[in-house]
């Protein structure tokens, strides 16, 4: 089984950055379930919670006409912040489905 490895990048902050994130900040998701944040950096749990439900689908190959195949943006729920994140496919991981739960 192959899944995409993902990078979630702060694309822009249209309001004020309450959580301290800035454009270019990111985290990565690889090998199905490994979330990594660069050393010395952080990622807001509320922004993370907003994007998490989309990640399992973005890890998979989707039909070309699927809306999630065509869209890659997600927004933090904080109305003052208006933080927009971009989900990028950055590689692929090969996994043995029998080793997963």
Mean pLDDT, the chain, integer: 91
Listed residue (74, 82, 87, 86) closest to 19, CA to CA:
82
Mean pLDDT, rounded, for 65-70: 84
pLDDT in tens, 9-28: 999 999 988 899 999 999 99
Q: Is the pLDDT of residue 65 over 90?
A: no
Whether the CB-CB separation of 81 and 17 falls below 8 Å is answered with: yes
pLDDT tens per residue, range 69-96: 888 999 999 989 999 999 999 998 887 7
pLDDT of residue 101: 62
CA gap 21, 3 in Å, rounded: 27
> Is the distance from CB of 62 to CB of 69 less than 8 angstroms?
yes
On the 0-12 / 13-18 / 19+ scale of CB atoms within 10 A, 100 is exposed
In 26-96, DSSP assigns E strands to 26-30, 34-36, 73-75, 83-94
pTM of the model: 0.89
Q: How far apart are CA 63 and CA 65, in angstroms?
A: 5
**pLDDT surpassing 80 at residue 100:** no
Give Cα 13 distance to the centre of its chain. Answer: 16
- What number is the average pLDDT over the span 40-52? 95
């Amino acid at each position: 089984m192959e899944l995409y490895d993902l990078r979630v990048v702060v694309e822009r902050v249209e309001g004020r950055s309450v959580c301290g994130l800035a454009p270019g900040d990111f985290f990565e998701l690889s090998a199905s379930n490994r979330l990594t944040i660069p050393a010395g950096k952080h990622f807001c749990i509320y922004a993370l919670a907003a994007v998490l439900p989309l990640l399992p689908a973005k890890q998979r190959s989707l039909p070309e006409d699927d809306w999630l195949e065509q869209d890659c943006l997600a927004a933090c729920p904080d109305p003052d912040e208006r933080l927009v994140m971009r989900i990028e496919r950055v590689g692929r991981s090969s996994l043995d489905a029998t080793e997963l739960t």
